[in-house]
Chains A and B, each alone.
Chain A
Amino acid sequence: MTFYAGIDAGSRTIKIVLLRAGEVIARGIADQGIAQEAEIERLYARVLQEAEVERDAVRAVATGYARNLARGAEKTVTEITCHARGVARLAPEARTVVEIGGQDSKLLWLEPGGLARDFAMNDRCAAGSGRFLETVAARLSVPLPELGALAARSTAPATINSTCVVFAETEIIGLLAAGTSPQDIAAGIQGSLARRVAVLAGGQIVPPVYFTGGVALVPGMGAALEEAFGCSVNIPPDPQYTGALGAALLAEETGRITHGYNACRSS
């Protein structure tokens, strides 16, 4: 029996999904640390142990920005292709995927079959990312998971114009000084992030839209995206595992995506 693992070594967390005959039999999540290689290894060992699966029986694909540090993986694939594949499994009808992770946000446009037709990423700044929300939560002295609940109590979301994390923080300090309530600031920041992602999309939102990545777990973010996009936004179950699921599915289809180098030119 062969098992297939997807290891998504992201900037803030590591996610692992284990498949048998196309079905998820185990999974795990852990915070990313300084010793990234060891953190990935520890989680991988834990997931295999919980599933009572021998390492030799597993073929693994790694993705995420630390994908080259996953020792257990025989191949690496970009998070773009993995998220496309993962969403296509959960929702074959999906045409646009918004993935907001710890340090970046991506938009993927899918073609039938789950390949990325096109994609956009924030290239040079962290404005449209989970890190943006973390900074805001810290400034408002609320734990990140409670930021959404706080925002939900807003009656008049504040206008946050800065698209830079650092400048937005300065803007928040100004708003707090002016007496704006934390809930209005929290709601304002969600709207700001959603508009930032809409700009990244360049007006090319094709429904159905699916929202994945860790930030999809923050209450209220889906609604903020719906308002920015002007269409409904679906969040699949366990949205932070989509990339790992895609990687595991690709491990199962090994050979479908070749990791091409110019073998023919080397001599």
Chain B
Amino acid sequence: MNECQCCRQEYAADVTPAAWFARMIPNCLAYATEAKAQGRPIVGIMCEYTPRELILAAGGAPVCLCGGSAKTVELAERDLPNNLCPLIKSTYGYHLLKSNPFLEMADLIVAETTCDGKKKMCELLAQTRPLHVLALPQKENDADARESWYRELGKLKAELEERFNVTITDEALRDASRVMNRERALRRGIAGLMKADCPPLTGRQVLDLKSSISGLPADFAQYERIISDGDARAGRPRSGSSRVLLTGVPLPHGAERVLELIEEHGGLVVCQENCTGVRPLMDDVDLDHPDPLRAIADKYYHLPCSVMTPNTRRMDLLRKLAAEYHAECIVELVWQACLTYDVEAYFVRKLAEEELRIPYLRIKTDYSPADSARIAVRIQALFETVQGRKVAP
């Protein structure tokens, strides 16, 4: 990994992790600018199914392009239907406004056939931007589907090699997998701090402790610091707040409103089972596999997004996380018009109420703050029930 100015800063211990990640966007921008100046490609990604390993192995910098701003939604509605997920609209709004510097820098965008809205929105992007689509099969435990995914990754590898005039060796794939495994392990370690009776962080803080670009050495140093600091601060007795397992859709940078409402009204989000939380961090790439591309394909195919059918892995993951993080309730966030999460909520509710026997609340909303007061009331009532159950016989 090449080192740029921003990565050397890391070793200066005077930048605290909180201060470092508060500057996440400028940090990433400095990194991407320098990478580009060195001739490294910037590759935009739209979803956690895209293996960053392949992009890193091609010498590229993988950057997440998911939009989290309410401000870009309105313009997007010029071309997109009103009744569409705000994440898709916000991402598209940035495209129209040309106001996401990472999107403007991108030498290639990798999109996936995850949900229909995103898939079709990407066709509009492709009119003016270089775009490669990964066709994601959606049968959970199906050998043919997994084989098809492996071949899709082979095609992405070929595209990266041709477009950027590089050869992606097995060794480069293993090196990149090692970097990403390290990043996942560190972020798992930070998430794991929240298992404590009195966690050292809030869910809101945990959400900020990551970057739009993966594999930044400076971030790794800060992750290590958070884990050692956190271990030292944990362990005091806890009082008051209700422990929340937040599940469902991702909370991209700028769309943290619901998590904030939860923590402003008596909750503590101890775990985030979503694509901006622990979901993509749970499995690593097998470094000993004879075919590193196969190992990467297997890891990513098992990501339990609601587009999979059936999606039993998500229920297994929720069971495990609810126990490990001592969740007292489950809050499910569904972005408006996200059909797959909205329907799958049926199973999550059933799991919470009938099996885990903890209260469940589904919040369906978009990026506008119009319903914040209503959501706050429902959240408070949920916590009153959680606390009330503790004293009820």
Chain A residues in 8 Å Cβ range of B387: 257-258, 260
A252 vs B228: C-alpha distance in the bound complex, in angstroms?
Answer: 46
The A/B interface has a contact count, at CB < 8 Å, of: 82
**A124, B371: Cβ atoms closer than 8 Å:** yes
A261 vs B242: C-alpha distance in the bound complex, in angstroms?
Answer: 9
A222 vs B168: C-alpha distance in the bound complex, in angstroms?
Answer: 71
Chain A residues in 8 Å Cβ range of B364: 123
Q: Does B378 contact A (CB under 8 A)?
A: yes
Q: Which stretch from A74-82, A94-102, A136-144, A173-181 is at the chain B interface?
A: A74-82
**A81, B384: Cβ atoms closer than 8 Å:** yes
Q: Does B198 contact A (CB under 8 A)?
A: yes
Q: Does A262 contact B (CB under 8 A)?
A: yes
User: A residues 3-54 with Cβ under 8 Å of B?
Assistant: none
User: In chain A, what residue has the closest Cβ to B375?
Assistant: A123
A162 vs B377: C-alpha distance in the bound complex, in angstroms?
Answer: 27
A217 to chain B, nearest CB (A): 23
Chain A residues in 8 Å Cβ range of B266: 259-261
A98 vs B370: C-alpha distance in the bound complex, in angstroms?
Answer: 24
Instruction: Point out the residue from B238, B383, B393 that lies within 8 Å of A264, measured CB to CB.
Output: B238
A119 vs B382: C-alpha distance in the bound complex, in angstroms?
Answer: 9
Q: Does B380 contact A (CB under 8 A)?
A: yes
Chain A residues in 8 Å Cβ range of B393: 113
**A81, B388: Cβ atoms closer than 8 Å:** yes
A101 vs B240: C-alpha distance in the bound complex, in angstroms?
Answer: 31
Q: Does A117 contact B (CB under 8 A)?
A: yes
Indicate the member of B238, B240, B266 with the most A CB atoms within 10 Å. Answer: B240
User: B residues 345-393 with Cβ under 8 Å of A?
Assistant: 353, 359-360, 364-365, 370-371, 373-375, 377-378, 380-381, 383-385, 387-389, 391-393
**B202, A262: Cβ atoms closer than 8 Å:** yes
A101 vs B205: C-alpha distance in the bound complex, in angstroms?
Answer: 38
With contact pairs A78-B381, A116-B385 given, residues A258 and B359 touching in the complex (Cβ less than 8 Å): no
**A113, B392: Cβ atoms closer than 8 Å:** yes
With contact pairs A260-B241, A261-B266 given, residues A121 and B359 touching in the complex (Cβ less than 8 Å): no
A118 vs B237: C-alpha distance in the bound complex, in angstroms?
Answer: 29
User: In chain A, what residue has the closest Cβ to B236?
Assistant: A264
With contact pairs A81-B384, A115-B385 given, residues A261 and B241 touching in the complex (Cβ less than 8 Å): yes
User: In chain A, what residue has the closest Cβ to B390?
Assistant: A258
Q: Does B127 contact A (CB under 8 A)?
A: no
Chain B residues in 8 Å Cβ range of A104: 374
Q: Does B199 contact A (CB under 8 A)?
A: yes
**A116, B239: Cβ atoms closer than 8 Å:** no
Instruction: Point out the residue from B238, B378, B391 that lies within 8 Å of A256, measured CB to CB.
Output: B391
Chain A residues in 8 Å Cβ range of B391: 255-256
Chain B residues in 8 Å Cβ range of A264: 198, 236-241
With contact pairs A78-B380, A81-B385 given, residues A262 and B392 touching in the complex (Cβ less than 8 Å): no
Q: Does A57 contact B (CB under 8 A)?
A: no
User: What is the total number of residues of chain A having a CB less than 8 Å from a CB of chain B?
Assistant: 27
Give the size range of B's interface with the partner: 35 or more
With contact pairs A124-B370, A261-B241, A264-B238 given, residues A117 and B385 touching in the complex (Cβ less than 8 Å): yes
B 115-138 binary contact with A (CB < 8 Å = 1; else 0): 000000000000000000000000
Chain B residues in 8 Å Cβ range of A123: 364-365, 371, 374-375
**B241, A262: Cβ atoms closer than 8 Å:** yes
A165 to chain B, nearest CB (A): 16
With contact pairs A113-B392, A115-B385, A257-B387 given, residues A121 and B241 touching in the complex (Cβ less than 8 Å): no
A264 vs B202: C-alpha distance in the bound complex, in angstroms?
Answer: 11
B298 to chain A, nearest CB (A): 39
A116 vs B378: C-alpha distance in the bound complex, in angstroms?
Answer: 11
Q: Does A1 contact B (CB under 8 A)?
A: no
A257 vs B380: C-alpha distance in the bound complex, in angstroms?
Answer: 11
Chain B residues in 8 Å Cβ range of A259: 266
A77 vs B266: C-alpha distance in the bound complex, in angstroms?
Answer: 12
**B381, A262: Cβ atoms closer than 8 Å:** no
A84 to chain B, nearest CB (A): 8
Q: Does B263 contact A (CB under 8 A)?
A: yes
With contact pairs A81-B388, A265-B198, A265-B202 given, residues A116 and B381 touching in the complex (Cβ less than 8 Å): yes
Chain A residues in 8 Å Cβ range of B198: 264-265
Chain B residues in 8 Å Cβ range of A255: 391
Q: Does B268 contact A (CB under 8 A)?
A: yes
A104 vs B357: C-alpha distance in the bound complex, in angstroms?
Answer: 29
A258 vs B239: C-alpha distance in the bound complex, in angstroms?
Answer: 10
A interface residues (Cβ-Cβ under 8 A, vs B): 65, 77-81, 104, 113, 115-119, 121, 123-124, 255-265
- Apart from A124-B371, A264-B236, what are 9 other A-B pairs with CB-CB below 8 Å? A80-B381, A80-B384, A81-B388, A121-B377, A257-B387, A258-B387, A260-B383, A260-B387, A261-B266
B interface residues (Cβ-Cβ under 8 A, vs A): 198-199, 202, 236-242, 263, 266, 268, 353, 359-360, 364-365, 370-371, 373-375, 377-378, 380-381, 383-385, 387-389, 391-393
In the A-B complex, the 6 residue pairs with the closest CB atoms: A80-B381, A260-B240, A260-B266, A81-B384, A78-B381, A262-B241
12 A-B residue pairs with Cβ-Cβ distance under 8 Å, sorted by A, are A78-B381, A115-B392, A116-B385, A117-B359, A124-B374, A260-B266, A261-B241, A261-B266, A262-B202, A263-B240, A264-B198, A265-B241
